[in-house]
C-alpha cells in the first residue's frame, strides 16, 4: 500500500494520520521528492480529478482528456498531482476528503 503524500498539504497529513492511527503498514511516498512512480502511472492517470489544474501554467499545452498528456504533465510537474492518493492492490483513490481512503481498505 502506498500513500502519495505531500507533508505541506493538510488533507495529505490527515490521510497519513488516518493510516497511522489504524497501525497499517504502508509506504509514505513523497512524490514531490521522488516523482511519480512509473509502476503507478497508468493507475493514477485513470483517476478522474487526478490533476490539480491550478498547478498548470497558462503556457503549458496539455489536453487533460488525453492520457499521454496527463502522463507527460505528471512527469514534468509532479506538483500537479492531486493529493493525497492511496494505492492498494491495483486500485487507487484520491483522499478528498481524507476519509475516502478508508473505503479502499474494506
Give me the helix-helix angle, 67-76 and 38-45, nearest 10°.
130
Among 1, 9, 41, 56, which one carries the catalytic annotation?
9
DSSP state at residue 78: G
Lookup result for grid cell 514531490: 32
Active site residue 9: yes
DSSP state at residue 51: B
Other beta carbons within 10 Å of 95: 27
E-strand stretches of 5-90: 27-29, 85-88
Q: Are 49 and 41 in contact (CB under 8 A)?
A: no
Report, as residue numbers or ranges, the catalytic residues.
9
Amino acid at each position: 500500500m502506498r500513500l502519495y503524500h505531500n507533508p505541506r498539504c493538510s488533507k495529505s497529513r490527515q490521510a497519513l494520520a488516518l493510516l497511522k492511527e489504524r497501525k497499517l503498514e504502508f509506504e509514505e511516498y513523497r512524490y514531490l521528492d521522488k516523482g511519480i512512480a512509473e509502476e503507478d502511472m497508468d493507475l493514477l492517470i485513470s483517476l478522474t480529478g487526478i490533476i490539480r489544474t491550478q498547478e498548470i501554467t497558462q503556457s503549458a499545452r496539455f489536453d487533460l482528456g488525453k492520457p499521454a498528456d496527463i502522463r507527460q504533465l505528471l512527469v514534468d510537474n509532479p506538483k500537479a498531482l492531486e493529493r493525497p492518493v492511496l494505492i492498494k492492490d491495483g486500485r487507487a483513490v484520491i483522499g478528498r476528503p481524507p476519509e475516502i481512503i478508508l473505503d479502499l481498505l474494506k
